[in-house]
A and B are shown apart, each in its own frame.
Chain A
Amino acid sequence: MADIVLDKVTKSFPDGTTAVHGIDLEIADGEFVILVGPSGCGKSTTLNMIAGLEDITSGELRIGGQRVNDRAPKDRDIAMVFQSYALYPNMTVRENMAFPLKLAKMAKEEIDRKVGEAAKVLELTEHLDRKPANLSGGQRQRVAMGRAIVRSPKAFLMDEPLSNLDAKLRVQMRTQVSRLQKQLGTTTVYVTHDQTEAMTLGDRVVVMRGGHLQQVGDPQTLYDRPVNLFVAGFIGSPSMNFLPATVEENALRCPMGELALDDRLRRLLTAADAPRQLVLGIRPEHFEDAALVDQAGKGFTFTAPVDLVESMGSDKYVYFSVEGGPAVAADLEDLAADAGGADVPHDRANLVTRLSAESRVRGGQEARIWMNVDKIHLFDPSSGRNITLQEEEPAGVAAS
C-alpha cells in the first residue's frame, strides 16, 4: 500500500496532442479516488501514466514517496483492471489469476492458496477450470478483478471496469467493487465517464476536462459547491438548470421573473466584479409545488405552463419551457456536446424540476412553482467561474 502523488504531470503525444496538462493530485494511502470526465478528457492517459504504460512527458510521479517516472510497470507493483478485461484467452480462470504470481516466482502451494482465496471472495471457485470464452460478462469482470487482487499490490488502477456490463449488473458490481476496496484498504484510482458511478463509489472525485483538473473533492462538495459551470453541469442527474440572468439595479432578471437581490448576493457580485450578464444555475430538487410550501415568502414563486410530468413514484419530474432563451456560455456548449448535443429551441429555455409526489401539477396547465433562492448559483459566462462560492473558503482545489 502506498500513496500516489502526481506533481505537474503532463502528457504530450508524438502527434502534438497534449492529453494531460500539468496535473497536481495527491492520493492518500488506502483512498478510493475516482477520475471522471467526458470521453477524451485524458482520464485513461493519466491512469496509464500512473501504471507506467505511457511515458510521462514532464512532471513527477511518486508512489510511496519514491519517484517512479522511469520505472517499468512491473517494477511499480500496481495492478490494473482494463475496460476490456484483457483476460488471457488461452489460459483457464485459475491460470489467469495465477499468472502474476507465477511471474513473481512464488511457490506453487502459495499460488494455489492465494488463487483459491481470491476465487472465494469473488465467487469464482467453481469456474476456476473454465476458459474466459465460456464465462458470462460479469464472471469475466470478476476474473479481471481477481487477477488484480491476488498479488496484494500497492495500488489498483481501474479503467472503466464496469462499462461493458448491462445496467443492472453494473449497479450490483459497483457495490461489490466498493466493498472489496474497503475490505482490502488498497489505494485505488478508478476511471469512469459516468458521474453516477463517480458519485456513488469514491471517497474523493476528480473532475477532469480537456486534460485539466476542474475540481477535486468529496462527492457532496462537488454536488453542492461546484467551482464552475462545467462541474455544476457534469455532476448530478438530471443536471442543473442553467438560465440567463441579468443584474439590474436591485434585482436579478431571469426568465421566471425578477429575483430580489439580497445582501449576500449583492456583496458577492461586487466582490467578484461580476459582469451584468450571468448564468443562473439551480438544481431540479430546489423547486417545489407552491401549494405544498409553507413559508413561500422565503423563496421566489412564479407561474409557468407545464410541458410534461414524469411521475417516478417517490417524486415527480416536471418539465417547463420558459420564455427568454437558454443560457449562453462556452462551457455549456461543451457539456451539451458531451451529452449528445440535443437541439434546443433558441427562444426558450428548458427547466427541469423535481416536485413532491403529492403535487397535483398536470401537463398542459399553468403551475405555480416555488424556487429556493438560497440554492441558486451564479456563474460568469465567459470564465465559467461560480461567483456564489467566493465568500466562503474555496471548495476543494480548483485549477484553471
Chain B
Amino acid sequence: MATLDTGPRAKLKWGLLDAVVVVFALIPVLWVVSLSLKTTATLTDGNFIPREWTLDNYRLIFQTDQFVRALINSIGIALISTLIAVVLGTMAAYAISRLDFPGKALLVGVSLLIAMFPQVSLVSPLFNIERQTGLFDTWPGLILPYITFALPLAIYTLSAFFKQIPWDLEKAAKMDGATQAEAFRKVIAPLAAPGVFTTAILVFIFCWNDFLFAISLTSTEQSRTVPVALSFFTGASQFEDPTGAISAAAVVITIPIILFVLFFQKRIVAGLTSGAVKG
C-alpha cells in the first residue's frame, strides 16, 4: 500500500479538503433543516441561521393525517420490499456463485438487463396492467415493481459477497457432519451477513426514495408514500406557504434512513472472512 505524506502540512491540506467536501455535501441538508425551523414570516428572509426558531412545522405535519399515513405507507412498503428482495436475492446469489446450472448465464444477463432498463418506459404499461388487475393504488402495487428493480441490485451485491467466501468452508462443514442446510445456516450465513446488511440498506434506500413509481401507481392516501405526499403538501390553509412544512417533512423522512444505516453499520465489519484460509 502506498503511504501518504503525514506531516503537519499534509494533514492541514487534507483537513481543508475534507472540510470542503463535507460542507459542500451538507449545505443543502442544513438549509432544509434551517428552513424547517423558521416561522412562516421569516421563511424567505434569506438567513442561514433562523432568527425566529419554531417547531410549529413539525407539529403541523404530524397533525395532518396525510403525512402520518404516508409515513406508514413508506415504512411498510419499503420494509416489505427490502425483506422479500433480500431473501430472494440471497438465494439467487448463492446459487449463482456456487452452482453451475443450465441457464445461469441467461439469468445473470436478464437481471442485468432489468437493472439497466429505463424505469420511466415501464410506467405506462405498469399503470395499465395495475389498473386491469386491481393492483393500482395498493401496497402490493408498489412492492412488486420495487422488488423487480431491487432484485438485480441485490443479486449483484450479494453474489460478490458470496464469491469471497471460500468454497472450502462449506466442504469443511459437510465433512464435519453438517447437512447442506446446516452448512449454510451455521457457516455461510454468518459470514455473508455483512453482505446481506449492505444489500438491505441499498435496497431500502432505493424503495424509500422512489418517486417515479410512487406517483404513477398511486392515487390516494391509501398507498401514497412520503416523497409523493410531499409534492401534494399544502400549508395549514390553502393560502399559506407550505415550504416550512415540506422542509420539516423532508427532515423527518431522512431520519429512518440514517437510523437504518447506523443500526446496520455496526454489523458491516469488513474483513470478517480473513483468516479462513492460509494468508
By a beta-carbon cutoff of 8 Å, the part of chain A in contact with chain B is 14, 51-53, 72-74, 78-80, 82, 84-90, 99-100, 103-104, 131-135, 137, 140, 147, 151, 164
Contact = CB atoms under 8 A, between A and B. Distances in A.
Given A84-B166, A85-B277, A89-B276, A99 B191 contact: no
A135 B187 CA distance: 20
B191 A51 contact: no
B189 to A, nearest CB: 10
Given A82-B171, A82-B172, A86-B171, A134 B178 contact: no
Contact of A85 (B176, B179, B272, B278): B278
Nearest to A89: B276
A199 to B, nearest CB: 25
Contacts of A135: 275
B177 interface: yes
Interface string B158-197: 0000000010110111111111001000110011000000
Given A80-B172, A86-B277, A151-B176, 6 more contacts: A52-B174, A72-B179, A74-B178, A88-B173, A90-B272, A99-B176
Nearest to A90: B190
B6 interface: no
Contact of A87 (B177, B179, B272, B275): B275
Contact of A137 (B172, B176, B178, B278): B278
Nearest to A147: B176
B169 A88 contact: yes
A164 B279 CA distance: 9
B268 to A, nearest CB: 14
Contacts of B173: 88, 99
Contacts of A72: 174, 179
Interface of B: 100, 166, 168-169, 171-179, 182, 186-187, 190-191, 272-278
Contact of B182 (A52, A88, A103, A164): A103
A78 B272 contact: no
Q: B168, B173, B175, B186 — which one has the most chain A CB atoms within 10 A of its CB?
A: B175
Contact of A132 (B175, B186, B275): B275
B275 A131 contact: yes
A82 B191 contact: no
Closest 4 CB pairs of A and B: A133-B275, A84-B277, A86-B172, A86-B168
A278 to B, nearest CB: 45
Contacts of B174: 52-53, 72-74
A154 B130 CA distance: 62
Given A85-B277, A103-B182, A164-B278, A74 B168 contact: no
A73 B168 contact: no
Contact of B177 (A74, A134, A140): A74
Nearest to A73: B174
A103 B178 contact: yes
Nearest to B168: A86
B273 to A, nearest CB: 5
28 contacts: A14-B100, A52-B174, A53-B175, A72-B174, A73-B174, A74-B177, A80-B171, A82-B168, A82-B171, A84-B166, A84-B277, A87-B172, A87-B275, A88-B169, A88-B187, A89-B191, A89-B274, A99-B173, A99-B176, A99-B186, A100-B177, A131-B275, A133-B274, A133-B275, A137-B278, A140-B278, A147-B172, A151-B176
Nearest to A144: B172
A52 B182 CA distance: 17
A51 B174 CA distance: 10
Nearest to B178: A103
B179 A74 contact: yes
B161 to A, nearest CB: 14
Nearest to A87: B276
Given A86-B166, A103-B182, A80 B175 contact: yes
Nearest to A100: B176
A78 B277 contact: no
Contacts of A140: 275, 278
Contacts of A82: 168, 171-172
Contacts of A74: 174-179
A76 to B, nearest CB: 9
